[in-house]
């Protein structure tokens, strides 16, 4: 879980704070590496606790459905 938290914190720092130069490149590299490793961490959590997958997939599906619905409504109004 620490790696996942590290990925999210570096991602928030990259987007919220004005980072320039070499530090920006360093943060991008950290985000890429920790992001890939976080994917493996999420998969291992879901393998250890398969009952977690159903609510997680339900939430992801709901978010995608609402996003597509809003996008279609905006395209129709334009």
Domain containing residue 24: 2-77
Long-range contacts of residues 38-42, Cβ cutoff 8 Å, at least 24 apart: 38/3, 38/4, 38/7, 41/1, 41/3, 41/4, 42/4
**How many independent structural domains does the chain possess?**
1
- pLDDT tens digits, one per residue of 12-59: 888 888 888 888 888 888 888 888 888 888 888 888 888 877 888 899
Please state the separation of Cα 46 from the chain's center in Å. Answer: 16
Residue 68 has pLDDT above 90, yes or no: yes
pLDDT of residue 17: 82
Token pair 């004005």 is at which residue? Answer: 18
Angle at 45 between CA 61 and CA 9, to 5 degrees: 80
């Amino acid at each position: 879980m620490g790696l996942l938290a590290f990925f999210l914190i570096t991602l928030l720092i990259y987007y919220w704070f004005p980072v320039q130069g070499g530090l920006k490149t360093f943060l991008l590299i950290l985000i890429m590496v920790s992001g890939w490793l976080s994917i493996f961490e999420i998969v291992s959590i879901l393998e250890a606790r398969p009952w977690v997958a159903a609510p997680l997939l339900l939430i992801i599906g709901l978010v995608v459905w609402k996003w597509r619905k809003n996008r279609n409504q905006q395209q129709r109004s334009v």
